[in-house]
Amino acid sequence: MEKVHFRNHIPPWFQAGAKVMDIMTTERNWNAGLIWKSFTAVDARKILATHIPAADKEDEMIWAHTKTGKYTFKSGYWFLHRQQQPSIGTHSKFWKALWKSNLLPKWKHFIWRVIHRAIPTKENLRKRGMEGEETCSMCHAEVETQNHIFRLCPVSQMVWKSSWLGIISYTQMDIGVEDWIMNFLNLFFNQDGEEDSRLLQFISILWSIWLHRNEIIFRNVSVSPERILHLAQSHVHQWTQAQKLLAARQKDEREVSLPAITKGITIFKYGRCSTEGFICLVVDAAWKASSKGNCNQWQAAVGWEEDTDQEPRLSGATKIFALSPLQAECQAILWGTRLAASFASNVVVKSDCLEAVQAIKNPSKAVVNIVPIIEDIRLVAKNLDYFVCIKVSRTQVSKAHILAQRERKGK
Ligand SMILES: [Zn+2]
């Protein structure tokens, strides 16, 4: 049981029978705005750092009225609809096709982030508790949601329509932009086979809309649909060059060897190695004790990167809410594991956090506030052919550490 403290007086939404769901959005996220408004900064952080488990479990997350008259917040699992949560299981064919494709790794990763709603649009930032205006920087007319920026913004509509693909992007409004993108990519995967020019055009346009949006915000460039189309074309060219390099590199195909697992190292191991693709990631978290009352400062971020001497096929970072370094480390493993699971069926994740790896091995001994995260890691692991989580030294995860640190400090 965690005691919570309301900011001033009891907010209007909190009545008898109030549920924890009342402070969540329909998309299974915390309603950060409402939480920051209603609770003290310390408690708001506690709530936002409570992991929302992927598994549908009994509602154990409750408000309780204690003898002292204070309200308490009991964390645990609770039942939630899985709607709108892109789950690896149902879309595994899509992800396999995407990762297997010849697209640039940064594009694959970009698509992954769009579909997991992890693109820092103004709306997504606000949902995570960042303040700031939300208007689209291209049209200045609507809130910058993913659906708006990539599809409905008049600028993007014009780009899609005048592109070689000639897409009318405002039809099919009954589906979200994530499904809209997946539908197109699935169509290209299924119909075009080896011929990937439609796929390439589509992704380079999406990517270029985002790049142009960023240059408008950060470099004061003026809005131009032609510029987006130009960027898209130059990226297609860049890709063609990259293909040539790749073909040369494939000649000296590297041997994938599983890491030698020596006695004495803490590991969690599941399943048997199969031939269905292999990836090894290093993960790490960056965490900082919060400075007083500053709601907008990020306390934590997690990073991941493929552990390889070649160009990593996966690399990235994201901001998260976490109450402790341990919670952040567990989130790092979860993010890495989920990402790797959408990439290959044989996964090795390396972390420098002994306690986290031990908790995965033996969840019954884990600290309460990491249990839901650990359960989710194990859930993802069980859908893989082979999963190993290894405790390694700090220097071995330094690549992931740098990514996490940069993400935490960045905007
Ligand atoms: Zn717009």
Give the integer Cα–Cα distance in Å for 334 and 396. 18
* Antiparallel, parallel or unpaired: β 300-306 and 71-74: unpaired
Neighbour count for residue 328 (Cβ, 10 Å)? 28
How does residue 176 score in pLDDT terms, banded at 50, 70 and 90? confident
Report the separation in Å between the CA atom of 185 and the middle of ligand 1, taken as the mean of its atom positions: 23
- Give strand pairing partners of 202: none
Give the integer Cα–Cα distance in Å for 235 and 307. 27
Q: Are 326 and 276 in contact (CB under 8 A)?
A: no
Region class of 140: left (phi > 0), else alpha (psi between -120 and 50), else beta: left
Report the separation in Å between the CA atom of 150 and the middle of ligand 1, taken as the mean of its atom positions: 9
Helix axis angle, 398-409 to 325-341, nearest 10°: 110
Question: pLDDT of 198-237, one tens digit each?
Answer: 899 999 999 999 999 999 999 999 999 999 999 998 988 8
Could you tell me which residue, 250 or 391, shows the higher pLDDT? 391
User: Of the candidates 88, 55, 84, 87, which has an alpha carbon nearest to the alpha carbon of residue 344?
Assistant: 88
- In this prediction, residue 75 carries a pLDDT of 41
- In this prediction, residue 2 carries a pLDDT of 57
Report the separation in Å between the CA atom of 70 and the middle of ligand 1, taken as the mean of its atom positions: 45
Token readout for 118 is 């992890």
- In this prediction, residue 249 carries a pLDDT of 66
CATH number of the structural domain 267-409 = 3.30.420.10
- In this prediction, residue 297 carries a pLDDT of 52
Residues, the chain: 411
Residues near ligand 1 ion, CB 5 Å cutoff: 136, 138-139, 153
How does residue 111 score in pLDDT terms, banded at 50, 70 and 90? very high
Report the separation in Å between the CA atom of 126 and the middle of ligand 1, taken as the mean of its atom positions: 17
Query: In this structure, what DSSP letter does residue 143 have?
Result: B
Question: pLDDT of 71-95, one tens digit each?
Answer: 555 443 332 223 334 444 457 788 8
Task: Compute the Cα dihedral for 327, 331, 337, 340 and give only its sign.
Answer: negative
Map out the domains of the chain as residue ranges.
2-74, 92-249, 267-409
Report the separation in Å between the CA atom of 149 and the middle of ligand 1, taken as the mean of its atom positions: 6
Report the separation in Å between the CA atom of 50 and the middle of ligand 1, taken as the mean of its atom positions: 33
Give the integer Cα–Cα distance in Å for 131 and 122. 9
How does residue 21 score in pLDDT terms, banded at 50, 70 and 90? confident
- Which residues neighbour 386 within 8 Å (Cβ) at sequence distance 6 or greater? 270, 271, 272, 273, 274, 345, 346, 347
Report the separation in Å between the CA atom of 153 and the middle of ligand 1, taken as the mean of its atom positions: 4
- In this prediction, residue 291 carries a pLDDT of 56
C-alpha distances out from residue 68 to 5, 64, 94, 186, Å: 13, 11, 53, 57
Question: pLDDT of 310-365, one tens digit each?
Answer: 888 899 999 888 888 999 999 999 999 999 998 888 898 999 999 999 999 888 88
Report the separation in Å between the CA atom of 200 and the middle of ligand 1, taken as the mean of its atom positions: 24
Report the separation in Å between the CA atom of 140 and the middle of ligand 1, taken as the mean of its atom positions: 6
Does position 256 have pLDDT exceeding 80, yes or no?
A: no
Report the separation in Å between the CA atom of 160 and the middle of ligand 1, taken as the mean of its atom positions: 14
- Which residues neighbour 63 within 8 Å (Cβ) at sequence distance 6 or greater? 14, 18, 19, 20, 71, 72, 73, 74
Helix axis angle, 197-219 to 177-192, nearest 10°: 150
The residue-averaged pLDDT of 284-294 equals 74
Report the separation in Å between the CA atom of 104 and the middle of ligand 1, taken as the mean of its atom positions: 27
Report the separation in Å between the CA atom of 129 and the middle of ligand 1, taken as the mean of its atom positions: 22
- Rounded to 10 degrees, the C-alpha dihedral 164/165/171/172 comes to -160
